[in-house]
Amino acid sequence: MSLIIYLDGNYVPEEEAKVSVFDHGLLYGDGVFEGIRAYHNRVFKLHDHLVRIYESAKTIGLVIPMTLEELQEAVLETLRRNGLRDGYVRLVVTRGKGDLGLDPNKCPRATVFVIAASIVLYPDEFYENGLKLITVSTRRNRADAINPRVKSLNYLNNIYAKMEANLAGVLEAIMLTNEGFVAEATGDNVFIVKNGVLITPPVYMGILQGITRDVVMELARDAGIPVEETVFTLHDLYNADECFLTGTAAEVIPSVNVDGRVIGDGKPGKITNQLIKAFHKLTETDGPVIFND
């Protein structure tokens, strides 16, 4: 069945949802995006996603031609028009149509679109038994180049890393910073648990400030679990008691094997499972309602 897409103020069937071949989002990866999840007739952490896209846009000097409230309504209405109470939303703002040069000043108006669809990412068995990961040679972008905190349309570096994961026959990969510290996965943040402390890399070292990451840290603190944002190496990861990844699409997913090293006892850990449960509970009540029925 054809989806209804929000595109620059209109709701159109997907066959009609077209952007120009001169759009700098396509020509140069010049734009920003969000992946957002709807659960139980609510859009989880929608406000945080909207704030993040405005911040990403500000850093790349892109003016989103709508208020945050209008953008929020576009997300909710796209879900409504597709009859979705649960699903995945892709919100994209590109630099818009310009000429064949790089100059963003030649792009008078940003292109905004919203796709609401369903999603299945990893099979259930991985949530129950844990993911196998490898470390790839592709390094995460340096924070002093395109800062990974900008959720830009320029994902080629992460695609390189994903290709390495594909070659190795695993579903996700750990990327290091230029200095060799653990950064994040290709589309998820990484956490370890050691001696009861939850540890994740700090955002300033060059990672996306994941919204699921922030949620999980808050849930942990609420549960009395100490949380540290600190740099760590592969040695710390291999010797962790538990490891998991977080992301809007992946949610909270355990990892039990990294580069052939078994993590902890080889099963998803106690704190990981506790946080998975707390995360799912929060999705029942957080975020604006889609259908008022």
- Give the active site residues: 151
3-state secondary structure 210-246: CHHHHHHHHHHHHCCCCEEECCCCHHHHHCCCEEEEE
Q: CB 2 → ligand PMP: shortest distance, Å?
A: 26
Give kind and range of the element (H or E) at residue 279.
Answer: helix 270-283
Q: CB 244 → ligand PMP: shortest distance, Å?
A: 12
Contact mark string toward ligand PMP, 19..48, x via CB under 6 A:
----------------x-------------
Q: Does 213 bind ligand PMP (CB under 6 A)?
A: yes
Report the alpha-carbon angle 60-66-71, nearest 5: 100
Phi-psi sector, 164: left (phi>0), alpha (psi -120 to 50), beta: alpha
Q: Does 172 bind ligand PMP (CB under 6 A)?
A: no
The span of 81-89, 105-113, 119-127, 186-194 binding ligand PMP (CB under 6 A) equals: 186-194
Q: Does 219 bind ligand PMP (CB under 6 A)?
A: no
Q: Does 210 bind ligand PMP (CB under 6 A)?
A: yes
Alpha carbons 180 and 152: distance in angstroms, whole number: 23
CB 193 within 8 A of CB 211: no
Report the alpha-carbon angle 201-205-210, nearest 5: 55
- Closer CB to ligand PMP, 76 or 217, in the complex: 217
How many CB atoms are closer than 10 A to CB 88?
18
List 138, 246, 255, 272, residue binding ligand PMP (CB under 6 A): 246
Alpha carbons 74 and 79: distance in angstroms, whole number: 9
Q: Does 147 bind ligand PMP (CB under 6 A)?
A: no
List 31, 98, 247, 287, residue binding ligand PMP (CB under 6 A): 247
List 111, 200, 212, 283, residue binding ligand PMP (CB under 6 A): 212
Instruction: List contacts with ligand PMP (CB under 6 A).
Output: 35, 158, 184, 187-189, 208, 210-213, 246-248
